[in-house]
Amino acid sequence: MAETIVLRNIRVPMRDGITLSADVYRPNAEGEYPAIVVRTPYLKTSQVIFETGTYYAKHGYAVVYMDVRGRGDSEGEFVPYRNDGIDGYDAIEWVAEQPWCTGSVGTMGGSYLGRIQWLTALTKPPHLKAMISTVTPSDPFVEWPTGLPTPMHMCWVFMTSGRVMQNIDAVEWEKVYNHLPLATMDEEVGIVSEQWREEVKHTTLDDWWKHICYQDKFDQIDVPALHVSGWYDDEQIGTPLNFMGMTSNGATEHARKNQKMLMGPWPHQINRSTKLGDLDFGADSMIDLLGYQRRWFDYWLKGIDNGVMDEPDVDMFVMGENKWRKESEWPLARTEWTKFYLNSGGKANSRFGDGRLSVTEPGADGETVATGAAADEYDYDPSNPVPFITDMVSAQIGGPDDYAAVERRDDVLVYTTPPLEEDVEVTGPVKALIYASSSAVDTDFMVKLLDVRPSGFAQRLTDGMVRARFREGMEKQVLMEPGTVYPFEVDCWNTSHVFKKGHRIRVEIASSAFPKYDRNLNTGEELGQTSEMKVAHQTVYHTEEYPSHIVLPVIPKA
């Protein structure tokens, strides 16, 4: 007799009469088992789902894989995220009542599947005992603080249009991403997407978006969670934010004390290979992730005291050293928040310029005053944007890519330290404060952190951006006065990386990173609705009054 059985296309009723389709994997024996609910828009029919469901069933779990509303074999209309909280509640409570379930239910899944766990947790299903939230997207505009969906989001919109997975390889994506205006980009793919057009229409954090926010509501969530992501996950920022939000603001002490975070050297498709781009992070960079996650569920769903909650709260892979390390909190309590200031002789354009990065504040010594300039300047032309190195499909946006060739451009300001005299570990959130002005009423500023090897390979570590009209927040648009200097705070997400002796720390400043972000057309007109472009003349300052800098979370040597 087989160890496991699969019950297919089980109809699960929702409160409005719609039924969703589920496949149930469980041990092939009579009895009650803790259950794991996984709800997906990507169809419940893949080989990975079969292998994962079988694995857990062999270890004494019932696993319920369910097509979300409007996808696959489920009834209803697919409207991303809008119904997933309530549907999640109904699914969990239905599972808890089945004769093969103990009533102890957990949830897991990544990306879309991760975010809808949080929306479900907000509805407070009584039988939800624990979550594993993987590579989870943040609230609207946290990842893309532009007021618009990233052009590469169109790939996902097309892929999930209709009930089945669409063939994204049949589309010429570079042509699609260059389409203007953004509002009609769907036509370039050959569809008309109400979802895309609605997203483009809502350019501020209004009530339409707030309906699907969860990161402002951690104080309403009382669920232990294991948070999993990778340093090169293109939605990485959500995982540390969620871990910090729950440990600080969870609804109860029970919630606040029972959060764990795992961060590997991985892209959005976590733990698939030791290699990412040209880098190999070593054999230890891949782990027994199924076993790691099962320990979590064994504790919370089976009540097995396996010691998982006695271990430090953070498991993280330190790149550069390529070693795993356990920590007790995030950010690390021993962090030395260190400002690295931009400086130059006024010609920081390209990596061949004179841009310098130093812990010395502008004007702090005579030499800086004597040799430094007040600012660097460049022209940003939206018709010729600075490229962001990436595959053209949205399964993964960027990686540890070499930006040396991109840094040949004069519209990229490059600031670099001298070769390091000793190893420097940077682990934690990275933020920048850039003082800048523009000839335009609206424009963008991008900041990127890189590790430059002696060979010249300029490895991207992390980056971020700010759109000028949203410098005061995403709930309102405030245009600039041309020529006026403004402070721009840039969230560059997180990293854990050791810059080795002889390497150099580098910061890039530009005004585009295409197609990761849409091009700012510099006109100040309504976002996403126009095609007219203007060239913007940008000035980035580094003086005593305007000390542009990046703040690196330097970890002192033990």
Q: Which residues have a catalytic role annotated?
A: 111, 233, 268
Give the SS3 label for residue 521: coil
Tokens of 414: 């490059």
DSSP string, 372-433: --SEEEEEE-TTSPPBPP--SSTT----S-B-TTGGGSTTSEEEEPPPPSS-EEEEEEEEEE
* Residue among 30, 74, 40, 38 nearest 56 (CA): 38
Contact between 69 and 138 under an 8 Å Cβ cutoff? The reply is no
358-362 contacts, C-beta under 8 A, 24 or more apart: 358/417, 361/544, 361/547, 362/542, 362/543, 362/544, 362/547
Contact between 479 and 441 under an 8 Å Cβ cutoff? The reply is yes
What amino acid occupies position 482? Answer: P
Contact between 204 and 474 under an 8 Å Cβ cutoff? The reply is yes
Sequence-ordered strand ranges (E) for 173-299: 225-230, 259-264, 275-276, 279-280
DSSP state, residue 516: T
Contact between 480 and 468 under an 8 Å Cβ cutoff? The reply is yes
CA atoms within 13 Å, Cβ hemisphere of 405: 5
Contact between 209 and 202 under an 8 Å Cβ cutoff? The reply is yes
For the chain, the residue count is 558
Look at strands 549-555 and 424-438 and give their pairing.
antiparallel
Contact between 436 and 539 under an 8 Å Cβ cutoff? The reply is yes
> Cα–Cα distance between 340 and 355 in angstroms, integer?
12
What amino acid occupies position 72? Answer: G
Give the SS3 label for residue 7: strand
Residues 6+ apart with CB under 8 A from 79: 69, 70, 195
